[in-house]
Chain A
Amino acid sequence: MTQLNELTISQAQEKLEAGEISAVELTQSCLDAMAANRDLNAFITETPELALERAQASDDRRTNGDGVGAMDGIPVAIKDLYCTEGVLTTAGSHILDGFVPPYESTVTENLRDAGAVMLGKTNLDEFAMGSANVTSYYGPVKSPWKLDDGKDRVPGGSSGGSASAVAGHLGLGAIGTDTGGSIRQPASFTGIVGMKPTYGRCSRWGIVAFASSLDQPGPMTKSVKDSAIMLQAMAGHDPKDSTSAPIKLPDFAAALTGDVRGMKIGIPKEYVIDGMPTEIESLWQNGAEMFKDAGAEIVEISLPHTKYALPAYYIVAPAEASSNLARYDGVRYGLRVEGDSLDQMYANTRAEGFGEEVRRRIMIGTYVLSAGYYDAYYVKAQRVRTRIAEDFTKAFEQVDAILTPTAPSAAFAIGEKMDDPLAMYLNDVFTVPTSMAGLPGISVPAGMSAEGLPLGLQLIARPFDEETMFRAAGVLESQAGFDAKPGGLEEV
Chain B
Amino acid sequence: MSLDTETVRKIAYLARINVPEPELEPLAGELNNILGWIEQLSEVDTDGVAPMTSVADMDLFKRTDEVTDGDCRDKVLANAPGGNDTFYTVPKVVE
| B16 close to A346 (CB less than 8 A) | yes
- Among A45-53, A159-167, A186-194, A361-369, which stretch is in contact with chain B? A361-369
B: contact size bracket? 35 or more
Tell me the nearest residue of chain A to B46, going by C-beta: A383
CA–CA, A364 to B27, complex, Å?
Answer: 11
| B50 close to A305 (CB less than 8 A) | no
| A351 close to B55 (CB less than 8 A) | no
Contacts of B33 in A (CB 8 A): 421-422
CA–CA, A348 to B18, complex, Å?
Answer: 6
Tell me the nearest residue of chain B to A316, going by C-beta: B52
Q: How far is the CB of B72 from chain A (nearest CB, A)?
A: 7
CA–CA, A460 to B80, complex, Å?
Answer: 43
Main secondary structure of the interface of B (DSSP, over half): loop
| B38 close to A347 (CB less than 8 A) | no
Contacts of A326 in B (CB 8 A): 16
CA–CA, A483 to B43, complex, Å?
Answer: 44
Q: How far is the CB of A257 from chain B (nearest CB, A)?
A: 27
CA–CA, A315 to B40, complex, Å?
Answer: 12
Q: Is B67 an interface residue (CB 8 A)?
A: no
Contact with B along A372-396 (1 / 0, CB 8 A): 0100110111111111010000000
| B27 close to A363 (CB less than 8 A) | yes
| B79 close to A334 (CB less than 8 A) | yes
Contact with A along B62-85 (1 / 0, CB 8 A): 110000000010011011111000
Contact with B along A196-230 (1 / 0, CB 8 A): 00111000000000000110000000000000000
Please report B residues at the A interface, Cβ cutoff 8 Å.
1, 3, 7-8, 11-19, 27, 30-31, 33-35, 37-38, 40-44, 46, 49-58, 60-63, 72, 75-76, 78-82, 88, 90-91, 93
Please report A residues at the B interface, Cβ cutoff 8 Å.
98-100, 102-103, 198-200, 213-214, 237, 239, 242-246, 305, 307-308, 311-312, 314-315, 322, 326, 329-336, 338-348, 350-351, 354, 359-360, 362-364, 366-367, 370, 373, 376-377, 379-387, 389, 421-422, 436-438, 463
